[in-house]
Amino acid sequence: MGKYSFKSSGTTQAQNAANQLAVTPTAIGILTPLSLGTTGLLQTSTDLGTQLADNLRNLVLTNWGERLGLYNFGANLRPLMTDLVSQDDFDSQAITRIRNAVQRWMPYIDLQDFISAVDRSKSPGLAVINLIITFNIPSLNIKGRQLQATLYAI
């Protein structure tokens, strides 16, 4: 009577590799700004960290009343842009509004740093404000991710 191992019977490793189906990642959400996708109609994200960063950018750039059915959704930074008296005042108000919006709508995000830079050299009467927000998502073990948003003030 012979002794055989089940590991040595059946198919070879090369046959197993050929028989495996190609796994396509599952789309989690649609990325903004909207653009044509390579596998579907629109560009989608397959990584949860990328989708949450996109959602945070949309939260920061949305003003109150722009989201149908959710009047208070967003950081509401546009009113600050019309009253751009000093850089320090804008920064403190923007930090407060962004922190309040994140605490209300995305409490799983931990905000770390805020940097803003105003560029008035593009055109007379137009100020371009670049915001860089560093954040963590502790539940996904994502640390030091940065979000860049651009605002225009007339």
Q: Which domains does the chain have, with CATH numbers?
A: 21-153 (3.10.450.40)
Residue 8: is its pLDDT beyond 60? no
What pLDDT band is residue 118 in, cutting at 50, 70 and 90? confident
How far lies 135's CA from each of 6, 76, 81, 106, in Å? 51, 19, 23, 12
How far lies 46's CA from each of 49, 77, 86, in Å? 9, 30, 41
Q: What is the pLDDT of residue 123?
A: 76
Mean pLDDT within 20-41: 81
Non-local CB neighbours of 18 within 8 Å, separated by 6+ positions: none
Mean pLDDT within 83-102: 85
Q: Answer with the residue of higher pLDDT: 53 or 89.
A: 53
